[in-house]
Each structure stands twice: as C-alpha cells, then as structure tokens.
A and B are shown apart, each in its own frame.
Chain A
Amino acid sequence: MKKLALISIACSFLLAGCWDERLYKEFTIVPLVGYDREEGELTGYHTYTTVSAPDMLSYSTVVGKGASVKEVGFDANRKIGETLDFSQLQVILVSEEMAKSNLLETFDVLFREPHNRLSSKLAVVEGEIASYMEKTEEMGLEAPDFYLKNLKTAAAHSIIPDINVNEASTRINDKGIDLFLPYIKMSESGEIPELAGVALFSNKVFSGHTLDDKESLIVNILAKQPGKFTVFSYEWKQGNKTYPITVEIARYTKKWNIHDNQIDANYKVKLSVEEFAHNHLNDEKTVKELEQFLSKEMTKDFNKVIKKLQEAKSDAVGFGRTVRAFHPHLWNEGKWQDTFAELDIEVKVKAKIAHSGILN
C-alpha cells in the first residue's frame, strides 16, 4: 500500500505541464489584426485561419468591439464560437486615430501575457481599417502574408524601419528617441494597400505627420539603421542630356558634433554605382564631379528631412539619446521634443564612389 502511494505520488509529478498544454485544435490562430478607435471604443478586426479543405488553409475576418484589446478579442470569440489565439500574430495594423493614443497602454496585454509574440510587425494605416483587412484580387496573397512580405521587403530596402512590437515599446519608453512606424495607404484605385512611407510619432503618440518612402529611407540612414539594401536615384545633367544615376550605399560613417544649441551631423558615404549610362567612371574628373553632385543632392535631401522631423517634433533619428548621455545641459532645457524642434541641425553628406560595377 505504501509503495503504491509512493508510486502514485511520483507518477503525479509526470503530469506537471498537462494542465497548461495548449493544443492547436482548441484555438484559432490569428496572424493579422487591425484596430481602430472611435469615441473611446475599440474595434478590432481579426483575420483568423480556417481549414476549408484538408491541407488547405483560408482566412476569414471577424470584428469585435470593446474597451480593451482583450475585451475586443472576447467579443470576437463569441461571434465565431472559437477561441482566438494571438501567439502567432504576424502583423498589427492600427488606424491613425488609434495611433494618436499611447500604443503601449493599448497593447499592454501583448507584454503581460508571456505566450504573446513580441516580434509582430506594427504599421499605421490611413483611413478606416476595415478596407485593409480584406483580401483583394490585386494582393495576390492572403492579407496576412501580403502585409508581412511587404513590410519585410521594405525593411530590407531601408524604406521603413525594421521595428517590431518590442522595439516600438522600447522607443515609446525612451525619452531620447521617437517612434516611427510604416505608413500604409490604399492605392488610388482603392484595390491594393501600398506602403507610403512612415508615420512620425512625437512623445509616444502619432504626430499626424508622415514621410514618403524616400524621406523615410533617409531617416533610416541618419539613424544608422539601414536595411540590407539602401539605394538612391538622382538625375545628373550633363550638357543638354540627363542621365539617371542609381547608387547603393556600400558603407558609411556618421559623426555628430553637438555644441550649444547646434548639431553638426557629418556622414561619409561610400557608394556603389548601380546604374549610370553616361559611363566614364574611370575618368577622375567625371568621378569627382559625380561625387560633388551626389554630396550636394544628398545633403539637400537629408536637411529637408531633418526640417520635417523638427516640424513634427519627432526625433526619429535618436539625437536625444546622445544628447541625454553626453550633453546634460541641453537635455535638461525642457521636454526633448520641444528642444529638438528648436535646434540648429545641419547635415553634411560627403559622398565617395567606391565601386562602379563591372563597367567603367
């Protein structure tokens, strides 16, 4: 009897974890969600997987309403009679209105519950969220795959920052840098969502300002967070003819000199020429002229972007991190976003052609 009791106790230990098992058959995976807020009420659009035929997955969308993300989820559960599971969430879309509140507070549940994924991508969309949740013929892919693929490709090409939910929370909590998220618009035909650039945040909330794709690429360069490929295109005039030139940044260095209320940001950029029909890149004079042209154009564009960031009071580059660390007098002048907007920031880009491809 004693032995039996001991064996039973020992065996009960093997059951540890059984209480907490999470079987796929009991949950419905949600890879894409979209949230909108109107008059304090949250509306959530959940794209979830259904098995339409053996070995075939399809997606449906269910809408839930409530005061919080969790309540919205419960409302959606009731409507479809299944339990939605957010542990495999790939993309979260939020409306502009929603982004004007602190996202960290709204998405508290993502951080509090350990099985939620923090590597999901986050994006702001223009207008009403409902139209972005349905698959259109133009998309070619199911909506969750479409958004994930587009966001990943754009991040690889430095057009948007490679920011996930966790990185977004770090930026929201950091007083020395502002968040910027991919900004998606519906195409003019209204058939396909397009990545339009980035939405700029100021002091934890969406500022209402956006940057287009070329400008957001520059922010990524300024912050030294480029993706795998960073390409710029310009038109170079030579005599009466115009030649397009496309260069890719091979590598670059940044140096910020911060003194008084002024920041001199110097960037030395080594470029690889990808497209230049004028050729003659073996001619020192041409190379020099081209380098001067690129330095001037890039400097002009980079400064334009800085002005836009200052207008939006959004330090997406993260000058504030350096200021907080090494220039406390400037940091302590007041709220950083206000100080940043008033700073005299001058960017200088020095371009150098490092590679010309396999042609001269």
Chain B
Amino acid sequence: MKFMLSRNQFFLLLFIVQTGSSFFSFPAPFVNAAGRDAWLLFIVSAIFHYMLLLFYERNYDYFTMGPFVSWLYKGYWLFVVISYLAYVDYTLAVWGFPKTPQYIVIGILVTVSLYANLSRAETAINLPVLLIPLILAFLGFLQFAWGDVIWTNIFPIGQITGTEWWKGLLKGQTAFIGIELYLVFRSRVDIKQNIKGLPLFVYQMTWFLFFFFSVLLTIWYFTPTGVKLVPEPLLFLLRTQEVTFIERLDLFFLYIWTVWTIVTVTLVSFTALYVHRQHAKEKQVRDTIIWHVLLVVLPLFFLKKENVDYLNDLIIYVHLVFAIIIPVIVIFINRRKRK
C-alpha cells in the first residue's frame, strides 16, 4: 500500500483518532477521579502528552515493526475498536435507539469502514475532512451552556489529594489513546513538510484546548454530585438546552458523534490493515473482510453497561503498554542495532 500524507492530513488523522470515541466518555470519569482540580491535573497530563509527542518525533525512524510486534499492535487496535464500538452502541441504545437491534447499528458503523478499507488508501485518509464542520458545530452549540455555568465551581484550588492525582493521571490517559498512530504514519508524511517545532506545538495545543474545554465545562456546569450521576456530561448538557428549532439537541449531536466514531473506526482499521499488509501481502480483500466481520461480531459480547465500563477501564492500562512500553522497547532495540 503506497500513499503519502500531507502534514495537515497527518495531524487531522491523529486528532480524529484521539478524540473520536473518547470525547464523550472522557470528562466524567476524569473529573470524578480528580475532583475539582481536574482541570489543573489535565494541564500536567498535557505536558506529559507533549513530551511523548516530542519523544515520538525524535525516534519515529527507529520504530519499525517486525511480524511479532505487528501482530501485537493488530490485537491492540482490534481491542480498541471493539471497545469503541461497544461503547458507542451502548450509548446509542440508551440515548436514541433502545429498541433497534444492536447488530444492525454495529453493522452500519462497520460497513462504512469496510467500504473505505476496500477502496484506495486516500478514501480512508480523507474521510476526517467530513468531520471538520460537524466538530465546529458541536463546539458552537456547547456555547449555549455558557449562561448556566458556575465559575466558582473550580474553587478552592489545590485541594487534590495524592490518590486523586494518581487516579486522575490514569483516567487522563483516555485522551491519549490513538497517539501511537504518530509512530505508524510519521514516516509517511511528505518530507518537504516540517513537523518538528511549531506545527507539532500547534497540534498539541489543539488537542489540549479541545479536551481542556470539555473538562472545564463539565466542572463549571455540574456539581460534584451531578457529574457522578451522568456518564456523558456533554451530551447531557446538550439535552438540557432549550432551543426553538429542535426539541432534542442531544440527539442531533449524538449522530455527529456517531459519524465521528465511524471515522475513528475506519482510521484505526486502516492502520491495522496497513500494518498487516506490510507482512502479509496476499489475500488483502479476504483479510479486510475478516477484520470487519470480527468488528461486527465481537462487540456484541460486550453490550452491557457493566462490560462497557470494564472495557473503558481496561483500555487505559492496555494503552499504556502500546503507547509507551512497547514503543520504548522497540526504539531502544532498533537504536542499539543501528549503532
């Protein structure tokens, strides 16, 4: 599979995968774990995120996957997509489609990915562009809540305990998921386009402000008791808004988020199949279909709230292995080999 990415395509791809499914699921567990100072903790998390990006940028050349590591990552991405699909399907069932058979909803979500991944690479790569106006509309409509926020909710500052720091830093990792795609696609970026320095910093700030805004809005809008009751605070916040042109603003954005997740599933599948094709060049169509059949079947086993919550907790630890531990080992070994 041969393709080249422009700098913008690369960053957009990374941004969509990092925000995709986790954007709605991130604020509540994070704020519950870190308390009122969650916003402060997220700033610390963001510094760590930037350091990780700088580390990747410095060493991406050394991150080459052999068949074994490649299978590990394929397994990881399969797990990530299954978690996302189970979560989005459960959320859709609760908010919008309680009676629609869940395999139909998952089928729709996965079909788009199947089509894109059977087509040319450009189809999957350019899919995120579709989301730009939708994300802007989403951010715009969140501003309706501005009149209802309670600014003093973030005070008093600095009450966070050691346990909250630790729990918060772990939960904060949800916003990092997908960052390892940087290592996979960095070498595909047009070498004439600079990534190091300002462009990387701009990406970091975009990612940071996006999640930071969601954390702040959750703290400002909800009381600590309230945020414990609401697993998707941003969606709930949209539900409470009264506008003249639509009865349920939350449903409108639930669909936007669904599209967002579809694109994320497509991109993560694209990444897994791209890595797979580097070592298995034959029967690519068959493998693509098998991958997508797995994506339809496996989430069906995790559609209960209990299972969805379990996957959302587990994914953090698995992510740490694949975003930090394995890359560090692979880079270290390859650096030594090249010396």
Q: Do A and B come from one complex?
A: yes
Binding site for B on A (CB under 8 A): 9-10, 12-13, 15-20, 87, 111, 114-115, 117-119, 164, 166-167, 169-170, 173-175, 321-322, 324-326, 328
B96 at the interface (CB under 8 A from A): yes
B122 at the interface (CB under 8 A from A): no
A119 CB, min distance to chain B CBs, angstroms: 4
The answer to whether A16 touches B156, judged by C-beta atoms less than 8 angstroms apart, is no
The answer to whether B150 touches A321, judged by C-beta atoms less than 8 angstroms apart, is yes
The answer to whether B223 touches A170, judged by C-beta atoms less than 8 angstroms apart, is yes
Give the 3 A-B residue pairs with the shortest CB-CB distance, closest first: A325-B155, A325-B152, A19-B99
The answer to whether A17 touches B225, judged by C-beta atoms less than 8 angstroms apart, is no
Question: Can you report 8 residue pairs joining A to B where beta carbons are below 8 Å apart?
Answer: A9-B107, A13-B104, A114-B239, A114-B250, A119-B240, A119-B242, A169-B226, A325-B155
- On chain A, the residues within 8 Å of B226 by CB distance are 169-170, 173
CA distance A70 to B108 in the complex (A): 34
The answer to whether B223 touches A20, judged by C-beta atoms less than 8 angstroms apart, is no
B237 CB, min distance to chain A CBs, angstroms: 10
Instruction: Pick the contact of B100: A20, A114, A167, A170 (CB < 8 A).
Output: A20
B217 CB, min distance to chain A CBs, angstroms: 14
Instruction: Pick the contact of A173: B101, B105, B225, B248 (CB < 8 A).
Output: B225
Assuming A115-B248, A169-B226, A170-B226, is B99 touching A13 (CB within 8 A)? no
CA distance A135 to B242 in the complex (A): 28
CA distance A324 to B155 in the complex (A): 8
CA distance A7 to B156 in the complex (A): 60
CA distance A10 to B104 in the complex (A): 10
B334 at the interface (CB under 8 A from A): no
Assuming A166-B240, A170-B226, A324-B152, is B108 touching A13 (CB within 8 A)? yes
The answer to whether A114 touches B94, judged by C-beta atoms less than 8 angstroms apart, is yes
- On chain B, the residues within 8 Å of A19 by CB distance are 97, 99-101
> Which single residue of chain A is at the shortest CB-CB distance from B221?
A170
The answer to whether B156 touches A325, judged by C-beta atoms less than 8 angstroms apart, is yes
CA distance A27 to B100 in the complex (A): 19
B95 at the interface (CB under 8 A from A): yes
- On chain A, the residues within 8 Å of B229 by CB distance are 111
B59 at the interface (CB under 8 A from A): no
- On chain B, the residues within 8 Å of A169 by CB distance are 226
- On chain B, the residues within 8 Å of A324 by CB distance are 152, 155-156
A323 CB, min distance to chain B CBs, angstroms: 10
Give the residue among B108, B223, B229, B242 with the most A Cβ atoms within 10 A: B223
The answer to whether A16 touches B104, judged by C-beta atoms less than 8 angstroms apart, is yes
- On chain B, the residues within 8 Å of A18 by CB distance are 100
CA distance A174 to B239 in the complex (A): 20
The answer to whether B223 touches A114, judged by C-beta atoms less than 8 angstroms apart, is no
CA distance A190 to B96 in the complex (A): 45
> Which single residue of chain B is at the shortest CB-CB distance from A118?
B240
